[in-house]
Structure 1
Amino acid sequence: MSVSEYPSTEQRFAGGTSMAAAIIMVTVGVIQFFQGIAAVAENDVFVVGVDYVYKFDLTTWGWIHLVLGALVAIVGLALFTGAGWARVSAIIVAAISILANFLWLPYYPVWSLVIIALDVVVIWAVSTWNPEKV
Structure 2
Amino acid sequence: MSDNAKPQRATGWTGWVAFCGMMLVLLGSFHAIEGLVAVFDSAYSDTGSPGLVARLGYPAWGWLQAGLGAVAVLTGVGVLSGNSAARVGGVVFAAASAVTHLLFSSASTAGTAIVVAIDVIVIYALVAHGREITLRD
Fold match by TM threshold 0.5:
yes
Quote the sequence identity (%): 23
> Structure 1 residue 44: deviation in Å?
3.4
Q: Could you say which residue in structure 1 is the equivalent of 2:25?
A: 26
Q: Could you say which residue in structure 1 is the equivalent of 2:106?
A: 106
Q: Could you say which residue in structure 2 is the equivalent of 1:118?
A: 118
Q: Which amino acid aligns with 2:54?
A: Y
SS in 2 for 1:44: helix
Q: Which amino acid aligns with 1:20?
A: F
> Structure 1 residue 27: deviation in Å?
0.5
Q: How many residues align?
A: 128
Q: Which amino acid aligns with 1:32?
A: H
Please give the alpha-carbon distance, in whole angstroms, between the structure 2 residues aligned to 1:78 and 1:113.
26
Gap regions ≥5 residues in structure 1: none
Gap regions ≥5 residues in structure 2: 1-5
Q: Could you say which residue in structure 1 is the equivalent of 2:13?
A: 14
1:1-134 matches, cutoff 5 A: 7=9, 12-48=11-47, 51-129=51-129, 130-131=131-132, 134=136
Q: CA RMSD in A?
A: 2.0
Q: Could you say which residue in structure 1 is the equivalent of 2:3?
A: none
SS in 2 for 1:98: helix
Calculate the TM-score normalised by the size of structure 2: 0.83
Q: Which amino acid aligns with 1:125?
A: A
Query: Does structure 1 conserve the Cα–Cα contact (< 8 Å) formed by 2:52 and 2:104?
Result: no
SS in 1 for 2:126: helix
Q: Which amino acid aligns with 2:19?
A: A
